[in-house]
Structure 1
Amino acid sequence: MVSISNDGAAESLGDRILDAAASCVLAYGIDRVTLAEIARRAGVSRPTVYRRFPDTRSILAALLTARIVHVLDDVESTGSGREPLVARIVRVAQRLRHDEVIMAVLHTAPELAMVYIAERLGTSQQILIDAVAGELKLAQEDGSVRGGDPRQLATMCLLITQSAIQSAQMVEPILDADALARELTLALNGYLAP
């Protein structure tokens, strides 16, 4: 017997599971999300979820990665060179700052967020570094970005931007959203300028 895989159906199932996980995060916070509730909201059995994900934590990691990558893919570059690249980074940061699931993780599960802030790079961070490094290399070739290892420069851009996202709420009385975007743009342009 030949097994026929329907990739579209598998993708749709994965999306339903991640959408259900997002719904749980917003309803209960990270600590009270259960695999059983994710399965219930996705309209599937727990074994179906277990076939795709080993545990709740892996579902949440996949959810965060999917949301971050979606924003990166959705915010297109407006050109090549340092200034369009910095503008894209700032637009991605603005979108992530307003993503309610990502902000829920930062604010309700700081211990989970700290793993990706202080201990190790996550999948989405690696994807962001790779994407920015590729654009930085091209910008170095046109002379709009200083010399240096593009992955190292991209990693520093990630650290600067990640810090701005994490601390935005704390400094909002001083730097509202527009001022924060303006200052982040200046910081990144200054860092990358030849």
Structure 2
Amino acid sequence: MMSISNDDMVEPVGDRILDAAASCVLSYGVDRVTLAEIARRAGVSRPTVYRRFPDTRSILAALLTLRITRALDDVPSRGVGRELLVERVVSVADLLRLDEVIMAVLHQAPDMAMVYLSERLGTSQQILLDTVAGEIKSAQDEGSVRPGDARELAAMSLLIAQSTILSADLIRPILDTEPLATELAHALNGYLKP
């Protein structure tokens, strides 16, 4: 006879830690997130957290990676071609722009955000870059994206989308949610078309 223990139904510890970190960010703001509070909310000991993450900054970095890659997974590719690729990039950008945790980290921890915006590519950025480059290459082969190095085109496309995400609040009086998405799509389509 097979039994199912409660352990089989429990969310993995790493996921609970990241969920707790997200809750802390939203409750207290990035600067007041502590490893002790993350552990308490996750229902684990501080040593359990330390075995997975050396500090709160690494937890926040892992949290951003998770949320960004989750947004990409939530908008699967619908096929090959420039318009479908642009549609996907715009949809992912919309999800990221509306993600309270991501925006809190970007706005409340500019020193951390600047590392990933101007100094080095993080894990999630590499994943996005690889995904978009692959889709650009397929669209080039299909004929709807201009010739050029697919990775370079992907990098520029991501810079355009990233700028849109970062400046969305600033420009909201002029370009609200739908017009912003429309203009981002126009910019990307114009940049990528043959």
Separation in 1, partners of 2:183, 2:9: 44
1:169 maps to: 169
Query: Could you report, residue by residue, the CA deviation over 1:7-60 in whole angstroms, capped at 9, with x for unpaired residues?
Result: x89971110000000001111111111111110110000110111111111110
Partner SS, residue 146 of structure 2: coil
Letter in 1 for 2:75: V
Answering whether residue 47 of structure 2 is matched by residue 47 of structure 1, we say yes
Partner of 1:74: 74
**Structure 2 segments unaligned to the other structure (5+ residues):** 1-7
Superposition map of 1:115-126 within 5 A: 115-126=115-126
1:151 alignment counterpart: 151
Partner of 2:23: 23
- The residue correspondences of 1:92-111 to structure 2 (distance < 5 A) are 92-111=92-111
Q: d(CA) in 2 for partners of 1:11 and 1:130?
A: 29
What number of residue pairs does the alignment pair up?
Answer: 187
Q: State the SS of the aligned residue for 1:67.
A: helix
Distance in 1 of aligned mates of 2:127 and 2:9? 25
Q: 1:119: Cα distance to partner?
A: 1.2
Partner residue of 2:178? 178
Gaps of 5+ in 1: 1-7
One-letter amino acid matched to 2:93: A
Stretches of 4+ aligned residues off by more than 4 angstroms: 8-11
* Inter-partner Cα distance in structure 1 for 2:45 and 2:69: 27
Q: What is the alpha-carbon distance in structure 2 between the residues aligned to residue 135 and residue 182 of structure 1?
A: 20
Shift of 1:78: 2.1
Whole-Å separation in 1 of the counterparts to 2:135 and 2:41: 39
The CA deviation at 1:86 is 0.2
The corresponding residue for 1:3 is: none
> Normalization by structure 1: what TM-score?
0.93
- 2:10 and 2:51 map into 1 onto residues whose CA distance is 11
SS of structure 1 residue aligned to 2:12: helix
Give the structure 1 partner of residue 4 of structure 2.
none
| Alignment match, 1:190 | 190
CA deviation vs aligned residue, 1:150-172 (integer Å, no higher than 9, x gap): 11111101100000000000000
Name the CA distance, whole Å, in 1 between partners of 2:107 and 2:28. 13
Distance 1:9 1:161 in 2: 38
Cα gap change, 1:57 to 1:10, in 2 (>3 Å): farther
1:128 aligned partner: 128
Between the aligned partners of 2:190 and 2:88, the Cα distance in structure 1 is 16
Query: What does 1:77-92 align with in structure 2 at a 5 Å threshold?
Result: 77-92=77-92
